[in-house]
Structure 1
Amino acid sequence: MGRITDAIKHLLIINILFFVATSLYGDQMYQWFSLWFPENENFGIWQILSHMFMHGGLMHIAFNMYALWAFGSPLEQMWGRNKFLFFYFSAGLGAALIHTGVNYYYFNEGLNALVNSGLDKATVMDIIVQGKYSPEWYNIAGKDTIDNFLGAYNTPAVGASGAIYGVLVAFGMSFPNSELFLLFLPVPIKAKYFIPVLIGLDLFSGVTGYGIFGQGIAHFAHVGGALFGFLMMWYWRKNQFNRNRWD
């Protein structure tokens, strides 16, 4: 895992440049390049790709870039640059798809609950477009439903984590007996055990809302990236593409 391969190097550079630009221009960068809910006026089709290069802070980008180097480099060495990039961006796009699909579910659940109670749909939309809400909504639909409704519309997604989770799955399937060390556990854990547990914890947090890894994390984007990574690996293995390099 010592050498920085070609695709990894360029991905690191682009992510760091975006992070520096975000540090300088802040809100404008988040408005342009984060992944917003498609019904939000800030949404742009390019954000499906650009959000993978945006990060919410130093620890966020540091963790993602370390994981990209540590787990992505062996895959690029095995597959070649083009195949790795195809896999990486496909997992990231899959993560965005799942994340957006879940947001549509939350958004429609909350909106339908409010409209079915007798509120006018246009009035509700006018309120949330202004970044506001009515406290009475919580009496109609409950805290979780309204929080998820507002969060789906107002909270953009940033980060390479979805693509990284796809890379983690590919690494675990390619090098299942590799031993990984965690900061909070002094014993090594094989990749074939650690990675499924990590994804399972994300799924648990997404379904229950219990923030094992903290708040403000797009758990379903992680799960989506892992799912698409698994599906690609399964398909490649079934069709004997996994050993082919795309140089």
Structure 2
Amino acid sequence: MSEMRPGKFQYLPLVIKYLLIINVVVWLAQVALLQMYGFKLSDYLGLRYWGSEYFRPHQFITHLFLHDESNFLHVFSNMFALWMFGSTLENRWGPKRFLNFYLICGLGAALCHESVLTYENMQLSKLAQAFYDHPTLDNFRVIVDKYGIDEMQSFVDAWQRLPADSDQLVWQTKHFVSVFVEQIKNIPTVGASGAVFGVLLAFGYLYPNQQLFIIPIPFPIRVKYFIGGYILWELYVGFKNQAGDNVAHFAHLGGALFAYILLKIWGERSDPRS
């Protein structure tokens, strides 16, 4: 069991400071490259599904330091949570153990995310193959109902207007489905959320009774209830798998899972004073 290290509490400890700097600088570089040259760094360093032709092993690490170029809130919320909860953990463990913890949680989150992507891509391939074998509106609707992107509705409307045996319509829809399958397979994932979620779990596990003030909740809430509720919410929306939801919920849960495993391996226990 690790105890809080003696000495003055550092509000911006070493590893947290450099993680904040690296993530913000990389995000600014992403924005600049995109606006000036139309170059998306996430296309090369974001984590791809390992069945994609664009997958590279280094993406397991590099995706942790990238965020959505069009969404400042993405990088801000991750870095704020990392500082708010991670500072206490680094003061408790020291920089080396905290960095190891952070990276292992991030890698664990990526492995869980890849496992979910494998299942989802296999399911999509089965649906697509069923449509290729029997190109009917009903088989196409199964894909539409699950993924529901706007472009699909135009094909549904065309199938309803034209004869179902129209060779051109069948070919166009098959081509659209094949392109869609490849697009889904090649979507990059970016963000430190999985690693940060591991930090949240660790803080909640070690200091369960600490009080938090969360806007817009008008009263303090104990960390164990906040983190527990957050995990249940991630499970709910992850299994719901609503069309248009581009958040990697199971990466968040994977980060929490690996955090819990590490805490058990290290023999960490809740602070009785918290």
**Identical amino acids, percent of aligned pairs:** 36
Query: Is 2:43 the counterpart of 1:41?
Result: no
Q: CA RMSD in A?
A: 2.9
Aligned to 1:154: 186
Amino acid at match of 2:50: P
Give the direction of change, closer, same or farther, for the CA distance of 1:141–1:59 in structure 2 (3 Å limit).
closer
Query: Is 2:240 the counterpart of 1:232?
Result: no
Amino acid at match of 2:97: K
Amino acid at match of 2:196: I
Local SS of the residue matching 1:182: coil
Query: Is 2:51 the counterpart of 1:51?
Result: no
Equivalenced residue count is 226
Structure 2 CA distance, aligned partners of 1:67 and 1:145? Answer: 31
Deviations, residues 127-161 of structure 1 (Å, cap 9, x unaligned): xxxxxxxx986335553168796674132111000
Give the direction of change, closer, same or farther, for the CA distance of 1:149–1:223 in structure 2 (3 Å limit).
farther
TM-score computed with the length of structure 1 as normaliser: 0.82
> Rg bigger for which structure?
2
Return the offset for 1:10. 0.7
Contact 1:40 1:153 in 2 (8 A): yes
TM-score computed with the length of structure 2 as normaliser: 0.74
Structure 1 CA distance, aligned partners of 2:251 and 2:86? Answer: 19
Give the direction of change, closer, same or farther, for the CA distance of 1:21–1:137 in structure 2 (3 Å limit).
farther
**Aligned mate of 2:101, from 69, 83, 87:** 87
Aligned to 1:18: 26
**Aligned mate of 1:98, from 112, 120, 133:** 112
Give the direction of change, closer, same or farther, for the CA distance of 1:25–1:144 in structure 2 (3 Å limit).
same
Amino acid at match of 1:32: Y
Amino acid at match of 2:141: N
Contact 1:109 1:145 in 2 (8 A): no
Aligned to 1:125: none
**Aligned mate of 2:88, from 66, 71, 74:** 74
Q: Gapped runs of 5+ residues in structure 1? A: 121-134
Give the direction of change, closer, same or farther, for the CA distance of 1:198–1:242 in structure 2 (3 Å limit).
closer
Instruction: Please say which of residues 46-55 and 135-144 is displaced more in the overlay.
Output: 135-144
Aligned to 1:109: 123
**Aligned mate of 1:144, from 134, 143, 146:** 146
Local SS of the residue matching 2:127: helix
**Aligned mate of 1:208, from 231, 240, 244:** 240
Q: Gapped runs of 5+ residues in structure 2? A: 1-8, 150-179
Contact 1:117 1:140 in 2 (8 A): no
Instruction: Please say which of residues 151-160 and 93-102 is displaced more in the overlay.
Output: 151-160
Deviations, residues 65-89 of structure 1 (Å, cap 9, x unaligned): 0000010000000000010001000
**Aligned mate of 2:76, from 62, 66, 70:** 62
Contact 2:213 2:219 in 1 (8 A): yes
